[in-house]
Each structure stands twice: as structure tokens, then as C-alpha cells.
Amino acid sequence: MPVGDSMTIGSAGEHTWRYRMWRHLCATYGGPFTLVGPRDTLYDKAADAPTSYAYADPDFPRRHLAGWGEGWLHMAPLIGEAVRTQRADVLLVSLGLIDLGFYTNAEQTAENVRAFVAEARTANPRVSLVLLPVIPNVRAAYDESFAAQVTRFNELLAKAAADLDEPSSPVLLASVPESYDIDSDTYDGTHPNAHGEHKLAAAFAEAMHQGWALGGPYEPS
């Protein structure tokens, strides 16, 4: 189940990193799988609402739990029911930018991470999670105090991943690609373009391959 904000739900006409991840797993994972989630739309910027089905590939299993403008604060109360009803085994989570930008500081956001994991485990005690830190973004490039909050949260996220990791319910921390660049990997300083989508998918894929031997090394396709 992909879980995230605007960078995960994507908007009309985009492939999204979840599509790139699906293509990767189709090529490298030997068993049956699919993407699950209670939502299936893209965001329609013209309508300012998550109402679009204009996916670039009609064969893509489009289910997810992602929303434009939603963060850990919003997803923590939803994740238990989503995991339970969708029978999710693995959560690929990209959240935090919205929280830090509008709702909570680094410490409060980290507490919501822990609440999120607890709720997911209540629904499925054996759920596995891959957590992506907040990636480079345009606001952090010009707002020093926000950049400091991002740095602090990513430190707390790494600590939470280490603290919460359990043999029966593993937690992996994905690595932000060192080459990720807001000028070449996004279309507006925040939302990934095709290059950025591949890099975010690769971050999840490499964590799963190296941590769990699930799938193979990421190759863009």
C-alpha cells in the first residue's frame, strides 16, 4: 500500500512513483502481488480535488492511501482501517513535508509516526513498513528554519525506525537519493517529474531489496 501526500497521489496525466515501483516489482518480484488501498484517484488540479482517473497506463493497479495536502497527522487515524480492510502486508510511506510545513513541528510529527505504526500493527501485527525521509524541496532551499525542521525530523524518523523495528513487523528506513535535485527531478521544486519518480521508486526498491531480499536492484523501465 503506497501511503503519502501529493507526491504519492500524483495528478492527472502523471505516472507517479507508485507506478514506477509497480513496474519494477513486475520485473523483479517472483511472486504474486498487487497494490492496495482505499483510494484510486489522481488529483485534478483544474478541479482542485482528487477526482481524476487519467492514468497514463490503464493496466496499472491504481489503489493507494494518499492525498494532496495530507501528512502523518492525517494518515495516522486512517491507517488501521485501511490496513484491515485492504489486507495490506507492506506499507511504502512517503510523508512529512505537509506536516512540517503547516501542522506540526519535528517532534510532534515524529510522535505521529509512532502512532501511525501502532495503528497499522493493531490491524496487522505482521505488517512491514518502509519509511522515506522528507526529500529535498524548494521551501527548504530558501527557508532556513524549515530546512532545520526537515533535518531534525529526518533524524527523529531514523530513530523511530530503529526503535520500532521488530522481527515480526520490520521497519526499514529508505535513503533519500544523493543525486535528487529539485531543479532536475521536480517540475515545481517539490513534486517529482519522471526523473524524480524513478528516484523515489528506487529508494523504496533498494531498501526492500537490500533489507528483505524482496525484488531486485532498481532499473528504470
In a domain, 104, yes or no: yes
In a domain, 90, yes or no: yes
The pLDDT value given to residue 114: 98
Segment 99-112, tens digit of pLDDT: 999 999 999 999 99
Segment 84-95, tens digit of pLDDT: 999 999 999 999
In a domain, 19, yes or no: no
CATH of the domain at 88: 3.40.50.1110
The pLDDT value given to residue 128: 98
Could you tell me the residue range of the domain that residue 164 belongs to? Answer: 68-212
In a domain, 100, yes or no: yes
The pLDDT value given to residue 56: 85
**Low-confidence residues of the chain: pLDDT under 70:** none
Cell numbers at 174, concatenated? 529508505
Structural domains in the chain (count): 1
The pLDDT value given to residue 220: 87
